[in-house]
Structure 1
Amino acid sequence: NQWQPLVDKKGKAIDGQATFRMRHFMGNNGKVFDLVVQRSSVTGQVELDLELDSNNSTQAPEQITSGQYIYRSIATNLETLSDSKVIHFYNQRGEDSENRIKELKNDFGARQMPCGDFNANALYFDICSLSYNLFALMRQILPLEFANKRAKYVRNRFYAIAAKVLQHGRQVIVKCQAQYYDLLTQVLNNIKAFKPLLS
């Protein structure tokens, strides 16, 4: 009777799903934390009886099982969030990770290691990861049209812009085609306004 309905991000209850929160600890001197349990009803499951009756071997009987649940629990210290928000936060932790791994492998050379030496491969993979992280940082200061684009798109649409950098007096002048002027201006302004998260 203490189950609460799981609500989506708009506050609407999700059918067949509920949550329950309790305090938990592990070991004799374990630190107490919250355990959010999510219960999802499993309806429409079909069970097949494969032991066919010899008198009627043309059709296997079917039985619909209802009232069953799948449970999962999430250990958390986010005490200020509701159960539903904890579950949504947890679900987002792996959001889009497969696409990022695909980018790392296909766009930054991490698909295959260069040799059989573990340390050399570890260094190579670190360089691939660093390259990807620098690209992800660069993508944050690019206009919104580049926000979810892969390296190949950014390379063809931005990095490959032909321009000439001139120094005249105490000014640095970038000359490019007129169609790229607004894009380069916006990127340069974003770079000037960018503040790294360093103390």
Structure 2
Amino acid sequence: ETFDQALAGKKVGLVRADSGFYTEELLSYLEEKQHNYIMAVRMYPNVKSAVWGLDNWISLSPGIELNSMIFSHENGKPRRYIVVKKQVDIRPDSTGKQLFDELPGYRYSCYVTNLDLPLDQIWNIYNTWADCENRIKELKDDFGLDSFCLQDFWATEASFRFIMVAYNLMSLFRHFALNHHNRATLRTLKSYCFALGAWTVSHANKTVLKISLTAKKRPWMKGIFSQINNLSPPFNYSNA
């Protein structure tokens, strides 16, 4: 549904997914559709066994080593796997799982990809997807995404989609009026832009909006209006 409806007619440059999507069915689907992907791997026993047999690790920085292997998941085709090993005493906040009792001081992460890029680039590209979690947190905290459940499934689905429309409108406002993507959350925008004392008056046969603002804040607000005045739909917006 995501590819066929939400992304219909759009070019998908990369699919990043966590280990919950690690199935042979989905990997085959992405390859059939010729999508580039980087996906976190569930550490099944056969994956752990393959990781245990790796040698010639490449040191990326203190406490981080990289490796790669060709591995087949559930009788699937051989694919490229990237393995990241982190030394806990040097990097105590590192993510990953402790796989081996014989090596208690290390955590491991593993990714499967069809990209032909250096190991460190694969890992860095995947790590940039963590910002998605911030967007999910904002949807929950500021837009109430997890605080409603209607009796009818389709009513809940409709409410969910309207929340996404509201979020996208705020994203367009941040991008075009404030000239940045994600730094201001809805909570911040409420206090700075929307929850302001205002009234309308008639002046020279025109309706004028009066906004209660401190003198220091007025130039900033005028800048927002000047940005909006120079825009008209359709808006060409890239989330790349």
TMscore range, shorter length:
0.5 to 0.7
Deviation at 1:36, TM superposition (A): 0.6
Q: Residue by residue, what CA displacement relative to the aligned partner does 1:6-54 show, whole Å, maximum 9, x if unpaired? A: 2xxxxxxx212110122333355x344311111122449xxxxxxxxxx
What is the identity percentage for the equivalent residue pairs of Structure 1 and Structure 2? 26
TM-score normalized with structure 2 length: 0.53
- Selected match of 2:108 from 53, 62, 71: 71
Q: Quick one: distance in 2 between partners of 1:116 and 1:41? A: 49
* Residues 174, 180 of structure 2: 8 Å contact kept: no
Matched residue, 1:181: 222
Matched residue, 2:58: 4
Gaps of 5+ in 2: 1-54, 91-101, 212-217
Does 2:35 align with 1:35?
no
- Larger fraction in strand: 1
Highest Rg: 1 or 2? 1
Gaps of 5+ in 1: 7-13, 45-64
Secondary structure in 2 matching 1:93:
helix
Does 2:195 align with 1:141?
no
* Residues 141, 194 of structure 1: 8 Å contact kept: no
Matched residue, 1:56: none
| Cα 1:196–1:69 shift into 2, 3 Å | closer
* Residues 171, 181 of structure 2: 8 Å contact kept: no
* Residues 176, 227 of structure 2: 8 Å contact kept: no
Q: Quick one: distance in 1 between partners of 2:139 and 2:113? A: 30
| Cα 1:110–1:43 shift into 2, 3 Å | closer
| Cα 1:16–1:175 shift into 2, 3 Å | same
Q: Residue by residue, what CA displacement relative to the aligned partner does 1:33-80 show, whole Å, maximum 9, x if unpaired? A: 311111122449xxxxxxxxxxxxxxxxxxxx978433221101221x
| Cα 1:188–1:120 shift into 2, 3 Å | same
| Cα 1:138–1:191 shift into 2, 3 Å | farther
Q: What is the aligned-residue RMSD (CA, Å)? A: 3.7
Matched residue, 1:24: 71
Q: Quick one: distance in 1 between partners of 2:80 and 2:72? A: 8
| Cα 1:128–1:70 shift into 2, 3 Å | same
| Cα 1:173–1:37 shift into 2, 3 Å | farther
Does 2:124 align with 1:91?
no
Match runs of 1:114-133 below 5 Å? 114-133=149-168
Deviation at 1:131, TM superposition (A): 1.4
| Cα 1:35–1:158 shift into 2, 3 Å | same
| Cα 1:176–1:183 shift into 2, 3 Å | farther
- Selected match of 2:118 from 60, 70, 82: 82
Q: Residue by residue, what CA displacement relative to the aligned partner does 1:110-138 show, whole Å, maximum 9, x if unpaired? A: 23225322222122122112211221232
* Residues 41, 67 of structure 1: 8 Å contact kept: no
Q: Quick one: distance in 2 between partners of 1:191 and 1:3? A: 54
Matched residue, 1:112: 147
Q: Quick one: distance in 1 between partners of 2:190 and 2:103? A: 54
